A = this chain, B = another copy of it.
Amino acid sequence: MNVTIIGLGLIGGSLALSLRQHGLARRFIGVEQSPAHARRALELGLVDKIEPDLAAAVAQADLVVVAVPMDAMLTVLPAVLDAAGPQQVVIDVGSTKQALLAAVAGHPRRGRFVAVHPMAGTEYSGPDAAVQGLFDGKTVVLCDTEHSDPDAVQLVEKLLQALPMRLLYLDAAAHDLHTAYVSHISHITSFALALTVLEKEKEEQRIFDLASGGFASTVRLAKSSPAMWVPIFRQNRPNVLDVLDEHLHQLQHFRELLAREDYDGLTRQIQQANHIRKILP
């Protein structure tokens, strides 16, 4: 099988490595806007060749993976479907789904497209961030598969199960709601935590000296790139605003309890937060 990967960053690059590792594809063609990233992807062996022309890259593939940021995705995915034939399969790997599925809803090749969101990543980006095994054992969400051709869904299921990933089926609206709750808000808290500490702690050496593992893990996501995350927040804005309001409410409640020295109340809040232990052991 030939695979064309459009966007050779963390996710596109890691997927190429993982498909190759499991012997699921023979030849990898890359499409990459940044000449530096394209060169680096070749050096790292993420792909076998770079194809500058999108339509030519699609024409050579059995499977096309669109792995660009969500703003570019809204124009790149329709262009890929324009170029796709009736036998080829196209997937995205994007973090929001409603806007994207609306953008291709009436497309004559809609059936060849399967909407995929692997719940895996790191705070790094670009081809150097690609790692083998990134998807190993992780959950992958497939959205609105009833609008995809059954043979396309079957191929994608077979590949993802072989990585191996755990398949989960959600409609696009449910996907965007739940990822706002479980993924997008943690990025916002982490960005805001970094800004807080950078604002209060003017002595950078002190941050370095005093940062224990706890701080480092909480602030880790704040290293994530705006090019990836701003389009996600934009496309999932109503859900993100909703969960952000709940988060502000929880923090304000915590603040009030501490301000009025209600330590029993703080204890109860923390006990309730500890409930996350049962869900994420």
Interface residues of A in 223-281 (CB under 8 A from B): 223-226, 229-230, 233-234, 237, 240-248, 250-252, 254-255, 258-259, 261, 263, 266-267, 269-280
Inter-chain contact B274/A219, CB cutoff 8 Å:
no
Q: Could you tell me the distance in whole angstroms from the C-beta of A215 to the nearest C-beta in chain B?
A: 5
A103 at the interface (CB under 8 A from B): no
Whether A258 contacts B279 in the complex (CB less than 8 A), given A195-B272, A263-B230, comes out as no
Docked complex Cα distance between A237 and B181 (Å): 30
Interface 0/1 of A187-206, CB less than 8 Å to B:
11111111111111101101
Whether A198 contacts B272 in the complex (CB less than 8 A), given A210-B178, A248-B248, comes out as yes
Docked complex Cα distance between A215 and B213 (Å): 16
- Stretch of A28-36, A116-124, A152-160 with 4 or more beta carbons under 8 angstroms from chain B: A116-124
Docked complex Cα distance between A245 and B196 (Å): 9
Docked complex Cα distance between A40 and B227 (Å): 50
Nearest residue (CB) in B for A219 is B276
Nearest residue (CB) in B for A245 is B255
A60 at the interface (CB under 8 A from B): no
Which residues of B sit under 8 angstroms from A246, Cβ to Cβ?
A: 196, 199-200
Whether A241 contacts B226 in the complex (CB less than 8 A), given A212-B120, A220-B217, comes out as no
Inter-chain contact B217/A247, CB cutoff 8 Å:
no
Residue from the list B179, B192, B259 in contact with A241, Cβ < 8 A: B259
Residue from the list B141, B201, B269, B276 in contact with A197, Cβ < 8 A: B276
Docked complex Cα distance between A278 and B205 (Å): 11
Interface size class of A (residues with CB under 8 A): 35 or more
Which residues of B sit under 8 angstroms from A263, Cβ to Cβ?
A: 230, 234
Docked complex Cα distance between A234 and B246 (Å): 25
Docked complex Cα distance between A178 and B126 (Å): 34
A146 at the interface (CB under 8 A from B): no
Docked complex Cα distance between A186 and B220 (Å): 11
A216 at the interface (CB under 8 A from B): yes
Q: Could you tell me the distance in whole angstroms from the C-beta of A165 to the nearest C-beta in chain B?
A: 12
Which residues of B sit under 8 angstroms from A248, Cβ to Cβ?
A: 248, 251-252, 255
Inter-chain contact A121/B213, CB cutoff 8 Å:
yes
Residue from the list B196, B216, B241, B266 in contact with A255, Cβ < 8 A: B241
Q: Could you tell me the distance in whole angstroms from the C-beta of A218 to the nearest C-beta in chain B?
A: 4
**What are 11 sample pairs from A and B whose C-beta atoms fall under 8 A apart?**
A119-B211, A181-B197, A182-B210, A186-B214, A191-B273, A194-B275, A204-B279, A214-B220, A218-B221, A230-B266, A248-B251
